[in-house]
């Protein structure tokens, strides 16, 4: 490299309070330094956006720091090495990393930067699959059902909230592969139809329609709420709830859990926009029926996928088999161009996206 390369990046300009808007982000251009010994230069081809990122826009957690202002955001990406001065990576390799939200990035062997850079094999499948079925999306669903939820083949009644999302739709399909009775919730009639016709779960409902019905009739008629819908869909109770939403969904599921039921806490999209707000009155309350967890001997457990890397080989073997046998697929909502990344992210919370949400940044060299 003799000429410095200019790369576009998307930065967070300030901490969002409440709903995130496109004005919370800024596209900037930066000059990348010349490549030094031990470094690789990667051009991103695909990046993913995920609901849990909303947490890190406003605050961090015990294990992950808040996103820095006026710096590129991080997120899953698949790119191709276009220059290498490293003995560990060669030009042309496709790599999986956490350096999304930018066109190009440099990683150095002499730092910890390459610890999260993994070479992937494009012969296994489309490279974006490593951000989906063969990546965090599929792995999260797999962990939640088997490692955390203890899925029982041919026995369990499984309820999945946000079932038309990336993780939710994969969880539904895995549970069906294991001959379980599967119920899912979604936010539009089109998503419900897709879950029934394409994903082929046993029962699906539009939770927003239920909310609108309650508002329209100015009543909390038990026949119009999520809990009553679940009672109709799961008359013998829910054995395993895969929770991507929290809030009303979690409360309704607790109402309908079987004795010794298991609740897998994967996400809480219903409360993410409250993170970082100062007004206590705007914060959603927790489930009012949590005492049922005691009398019904329920188990509620949260998890983070990175704590379970020891089962990656089992996951990869199972998922590869299901893909090869055409038992599982992942619908993708694709946005084109790095500039569309904020819109893609907002689409997760507006209910505009189905399946895995990806941004196509570039193309293969």
Residue 184 shares a structural domain with residue 93: no
Alpha-carbon Rg for the chain, nearest whole angstrom, is 21
- Please tell me the predicted confidence (pLDDT) of residue 18: 76
Do 254 and 159 reside in the same domain of the chain?
yes
* pLDDT computed for residue 142 by the predictor: 98
Is position 80 within any domain?
yes
Give yes or no for residue 109 having a pLDDT over 80: no
Which band of pLDDT confidence, cut at 50, 70 and 90, is reported for residue 340?
A: very high
- Quote the percentage of the chain above a pLDDT of 70: 88
Residues 303 and 159 in one domain: yes
Q: What is the CATH number of the domain that holds 300?
A: 3.40.50.720
- Give the residue with greater pLDDT, 111 vs 242: 242
Is 33 in contact with 346 (CB distance < 8 Å)?
Answer: no
In a domain, 1, yes or no: no
So what's the pLDDT on residue 277?
Answer: 59
Q: Are 97 and 209 within one domain?
A: no
Q: Which token pair is 217?
A: 């009739």
Tell whether the torsion through CA atoms of 35, 40, 43 and 47 is positive or negative.
negative
Query: Regarding predicted confidence, which is higher, 145 or 124?
Result: 145
* Residue 266 resides in a domain: yes
Helices (H) and strands (E) in the chain, counts: 10, 15
Q: Which is more confident, 127 or 271?
A: 127
**Side-by-side strand order, sheet with 181-186:** 203-206, 181-186, 157-160, 238-243, 257-265, 299-302
Mean pLDDT of 305-330: 93
Q: How far is the first Cα of the chain from the last one, in angstroms, to the nearest whole number?
A: 17
The winner for highest mean pLDDT among 50-64, 98-112, 187-201 is 187-201
Report if residue 365 sits inside a domain.
no
CATH code assigned at 123: 3.90.180.10
Range scoring the smallest mean pLDDT among 60-74, 269-283, 295-309, 318-332:
269-283
Query: How many domains in the chain?
Result: 2
Within a domain: 78: yes
pLDDT in tens, 132-156: 999 999 999 999 999 999 999 999 9
pLDDT score recorded for residue 115: 53
Alpha helices (runs of H) in 26-163, residue ranges in sequence order: 53-58, 136-142
Residues spanned by the domain of 205: 136-322
Residue-level pLDDT at 274: 63
28 and 87 within one domain: yes
Q: Say whether both 268 and 346 belong to one domain.
A: no
Q: Are strands 77-84 and 94-97 parallel, antiparallel or unpaired?
A: antiparallel
Residues 126 and 145 in one domain: no
Residues 75 and 165 reside in one and the same domain: no
Res. 364 pLDDT band, cuts 50 70 90: low
Is residue 75 situated within a structural domain?
Answer: yes
Residues 89-105: pLDDT tens digits? Answer: 999 999 999 999 999 99
Q: Once rounded to an integer, what is the mean pLDDT over residues 310-334?
A: 94
- Residue 4 confidence (pLDDT): 79
DSSP per-residue string spanning 200-252:
--SEEEEHHHHHHHHHHTTS--GGGSHHHHHHHH-TT-EEEEEESS-HHHHHH
Query: Do residues 73 and 22 share a domain?
Result: yes
pLDDT in tens, 29-59: 999 999 999 999 999 999 999 888 887 787 7
Does 233 lie in the same domain as 92?
A: no
Mean of per-residue pLDDT scores for the chain: 89
CA–CA distances in Å: residue 265 to residues 13, 145, 194, 279, 364: 30, 11, 24, 25, 37
Q: Kindly state whether residues 142 and 69 are assigned to the same domain.
A: no
For 210-258, what is each residue's pLDDT tens digit? 755 444 443 444 444 999 999 999 999 999 999 999 999 999 999 999 9
Residues 305 and 353 in one domain: no
């Amino acid at each position: 490299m003799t000429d410095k390369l200019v790369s576009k990046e998307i930065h967070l300009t300030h901490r969002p309070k409440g709903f995130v808007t496109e004005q919370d982000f800024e596209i900037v251009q930066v000059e990348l330094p010349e490549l030094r010994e031990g470094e690789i230069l990667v051009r991103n081809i695909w990046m993913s956006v995920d609901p849990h990122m909303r947490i890190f826009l406003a605050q961090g957690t015990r294990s992950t720091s808040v996103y820095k202002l006026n710096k590129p955001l991080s997120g899953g990406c698949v790119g191709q090495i276009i220059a290498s001065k490293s003995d560990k990576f060669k030009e042309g390799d496709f790599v999986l990393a956490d350096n999304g939200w930018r066109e190009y990035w440099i990683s150095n062997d002499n730092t910890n930067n390459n610890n999260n850079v993994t070479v992937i094999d494009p012969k296994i499948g489309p490279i974006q699959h490593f951000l989906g079925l063969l990546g965090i999306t599929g792995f999260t669903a797999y962990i939640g059902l088997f490692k955390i939820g203890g899925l029982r083949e041919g026995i369990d009644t499984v309820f999945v909230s946000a079932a038309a999302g990336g993780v939710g739709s994969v969880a539904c399909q895995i549970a069906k592969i294991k001959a379980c009775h599967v119920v899912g919730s979604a936010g539009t009639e089109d998503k419900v139809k897709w879950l029934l016709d394409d994903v082929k779960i046993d029962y699906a409902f539009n939770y927003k329609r239920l909310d609108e019905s309650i508002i329209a009739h100015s009543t909390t008629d038990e026949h119009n709420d999520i809990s009553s819908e679940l009672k109709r869909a799961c008359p013998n109770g829910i054995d395993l709830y895969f929770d991507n939403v929290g809030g009303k969904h979690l409360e309704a599921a607790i109402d309908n859990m079987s004795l010794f039921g298991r609740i897998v806490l994967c996400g809480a999209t219903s409360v993410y926009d409250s993170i970082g707000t100062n007004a206590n009155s705007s914060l959603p309350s927790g489930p009012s029926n949590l005492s049922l967890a005691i009398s019904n001997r329920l188990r509620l457990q949260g998890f983070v996928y990175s704590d379970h890397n020891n089962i990656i080989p089992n996951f990869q073997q199972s998922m590869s088999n299901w893909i090869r046998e055409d038992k599982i697929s992942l619908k993708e909502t694709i946005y084109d161009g790095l500039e569309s990344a904020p819109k893609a992210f907002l689409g997760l919370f507006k209910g505009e996206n189905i399946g895995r949400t990806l941004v196509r940044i570039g193309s293969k060299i």
